[in-house]
Amino acid sequence: MGKYYVTTAIPYASKKPHIGNTHDALLTDAVARYRKLRGDDVYFLTGADEHGIKVQREAEKAGVTPQQYVDGVTAEMRSIWDLCMVGYDDFIRTTEERHKSIVKKMFKKLYDQGDIYKGAYEGWYCVPDEAFYTDSQVVKTETGNVCPDCGRPVERLKEETYFFRLSAYADRLAAHIEAHPEFIQPESRRNEIVNGYIKPGLQDFSVSRTTFTWGIPVEFDPEHVMYVWVDALSNYITALGYDPDGNHGGLFQKYWPCDVHFIGKDVLRFHTLYWPGMLMALGVPLPRSVYAHPWWMMGGGRLSKTSGNVLYASDLVEKYGIDCVRYYCLREMPVSRDGNITPELLVSRCNTDLANDLGNLASRSITMAEKYFQGEVFPAEKPENEVLTLCENSKERYAVAMDTLSLQQALTEAMGPVARANRFIDETAPWILAKEPEKAEALKHVLYTLLETLRCASVTLYPVMPRAMGKLRLQLGLPGVPVWEEAPPQGFSVRRGDNLFPRITEEL
């Protein structure tokens, strides 16, 4: 196996991240843990985007400096990541000197070679989103034009700005996307980029602002601060020690190009057009792929801090536990259409899959092993049956799904043998076998089958539920952290522990 570099989009530090902003981190963490399980040398980067007008305004409202403001929000973000067991290797903040100094050099280099030039921009500006829109992009209403993204009023604005010459890279970008079907995933997103942006023709985009000051200054033109694209997207290489002069750090040499940038669908075009355009201009190889997940909706509506229609990972984890939250988010997020998250849905899914299926299988199997064999289940020969065959086949199908980043499918595969093993208990009725001493070997085969099913699940479900699967493995007498090639043991020495997935019974 080889090196594997994964990143989350860096959430904007204007407000505490909600469950939707946390999804990148959960998804990236599960994939990083899976790649480690497969033996890869994994590097996992996350961080915070800390500049821009919204941070400046929130800080003013709070009566603190922008730096003090983002110090607070980013600390909160990191505590949520920790609570969610997001096991990153590095957390980069765009206000850090190691980031700013490199970004300044990048900007200067791009300017010196003519990829960044000065011009003027006129358009419709959405203040809260810091985004410009053209006449054809804004939505016309009776009260005036509104933002196509957030629906709030836009204002006509003209400002002097630096542009990045994306148009110069249009042909190369189109050819790259054409030649590398894996570059934009899933496929529906690729079509969106090709039909929505490549075919109509790529425009140069604005990379500086004079309307606010909380940003990385353009050193040769102090009226300007850098806008989010050069500032934030470059975190993926500055964190590794990229240097525009070529004196790269060891991490950059080892891990770049990135294997997958995990992002939300809202920042797709910036990651698949703007970012690779800048990398081409810098002469840096492009990331292998960008995977855009859809959004979480809540009861059909968008999650939004302003509307109060919002859920925080920290509250959910406190109420339902980390395993439940990670399992729900990764099991229920569809590939292209948006997913739905509410406390009711989360409780129902976790009670069905985790408490009833997996939790019950574990507690029944381990209880019976202790009752009938004092926890020592060592059959004379390893049994062969339909359930064990399903375990093996499901593991292979699970790997195919994980390799193609289809986590929903992978979790369905991982849970298949668990449901089958629960039926196997009813079919074989071990409590009847236990009454006849000459059936002891047959009873051992049944219990071995159940425990082996749990062992397999503890491997495949480990990337999604590392806490609960670690505990399950200790109850099964196995090392807490699995390896992918772990062979089925001769037998099991089990010991009952805490109930892994208590049924959630609270009134909702």
CA distance 221 to 228: 17
Residue type, 458: S
Segment near Zn ion (CB under 5 A); pick from 126-134, 270-278, 309-317, 356-364: 126-134
Minimum Å gap between C-beta 298 and Zn ion is 20
Q: Binding of Zn ion at residue 130 (CB under 5 A)?
A: no
Which H or E run contains 449? helix 440-460
The smaller minimum CB distance to Zn ion, of residues 131 and 193, is found at 131
Minimum Å gap between C-beta 147 and Zn ion is 3
Minimum Å gap between C-beta 207 and Zn ion is 20
Q: What is the DSSP string of 213-242?
A: --S-B-TT-TT-EE-HHHHHHTHHHHTTT-
> In sequence order, what E strands does 176-328 have?
184-185, 205-206, 208-209, 225-226, 260-264, 289-293, 296-298, 301-302
- How many chain residues interact with Zn ion (CB under 5 A)? 5
The smaller minimum CB distance to Zn ion, of residues 130 and 221, is found at 130
Site mask, Zn ion, residues 460-489, x = CB under 5 A? ------------------------------
Site mask, Zn ion, residues 141-180, x = CB under 5 A? ------x-xx------------------------------
Segment near Zn ion (CB under 5 A); pick from 124-132, 167-175, 405-413, 415-423: 124-132
The smaller minimum CB distance to Zn ion, of residues 229 and 242, is found at 229
Neighbours of 504 (CB within 10 A): 18
| Partner residues linked to 7 by β-bridges | 45, 261
CA distance 156 to 122: 7
CA distance 472 to 467: 9
Phi and psi angles of residue 291, each rounded to the nearest 5 degrees, phi first: -115, 120
The smaller minimum CB distance to Zn ion, of residues 1 and 139, is found at 139
| CA 334 to each of CA 8, 151, 405: distance values in angstroms, whole numbers, following the listed order | 18, 25, 11
Minimum Å gap between C-beta 163 and Zn ion is 21
Minimum Å gap between C-beta 126 and Zn ion is 3
| CA 120 to each of CA 170, 206, 382: distance values in angstroms, whole numbers, following the listed order | 21, 9, 75
Nearest of 161, 173, 52 to residue 116 by alpha carbon:
161
Minimum Å gap between C-beta 304 and Zn ion is 12
Which H or E run contains 457? helix 440-460
The smaller minimum CB distance to Zn ion, of residues 104 and 209, is found at 209
Which H or E run contains 3? strand 3-8
Phi and psi angles of residue 411, each rounded to the nearest 5 degrees, phi first: -70, -35
CA angle, residues 399, 424, 467, in degrees to nearest 5: 45
Minimum Å gap between C-beta 308 and Zn ion is 18
Q: How far is CA 466 from the centre of its chain?
A: 15
The smaller minimum CB distance to Zn ion, of residues 141 and 374, is found at 141
Minimum Å gap between C-beta 129 and Zn ion is 4
Minimum Å gap between C-beta 244 and Zn ion is 33
Minimum Å gap between C-beta 296 and Zn ion is 19
| Partner residues linked to 205 by β-bridges | 164
CA angle, residues 471, 24, 320, in degrees to nearest 5: 40
Inter-residue contact 482 to 474 (CB < 8 Å): no
The smaller minimum CB distance to Zn ion, of residues 126 and 469, is found at 126
Minimum Å gap between C-beta 123 and Zn ion is 13
Inter-residue contact 138 to 145 (CB < 8 Å): yes
- Using CA atoms of 412, 414, 420, 421 in order, give the dihedral in degrees to the nearest 10: -150
Residue selected from 129, 130, 221, 243 as contacting Zn ion according to rule CB under 5 A: 129
Place of tokens 């765009």: 94
Segment near Zn ion (CB under 5 A); pick from 75-83, 122-130, 238-246, 437-445: 122-130
Report DSSP state, residue 490: S
Nearest of 334, 222, 202 to residue 270 by alpha carbon:
202
CA distance 236 to 47: 9
Segment near Zn ion (CB under 5 A); pick from 70-78, 123-131, 183-191, 269-277: 123-131
The smaller minimum CB distance to Zn ion, of residues 89 and 129, is found at 129
| Interface of this chain with Zn ion, residues 298 to 327, rule: CB under 5 A | none
The smaller minimum CB distance to Zn ion, of residues 34 and 132, is found at 132
The smaller minimum CB distance to Zn ion, of residues 71 and 130, is found at 130
Segment near Zn ion (CB under 5 A); pick from 118-126, 167-175, 293-301, 367-375: 118-126
The smaller minimum CB distance to Zn ion, of residues 122 and 381, is found at 122
The smaller minimum CB distance to Zn ion, of residues 147 and 410, is found at 147
Residue with the shortest CB distance to Zn ion: 147
Inter-residue contact 439 to 374 (CB < 8 Å): no
Segment near Zn ion (CB under 5 A); pick from 26-34, 120-128, 189-197, 322-330: 120-128
Minimum Å gap between C-beta 206 and Zn ion is 16
The smaller minimum CB distance to Zn ion, of residues 150 and 282, is found at 150
Minimum Å gap between C-beta 302 and Zn ion is 12
Contact set with Zn ion (CB under 5 A): 126, 129, 147, 149-150
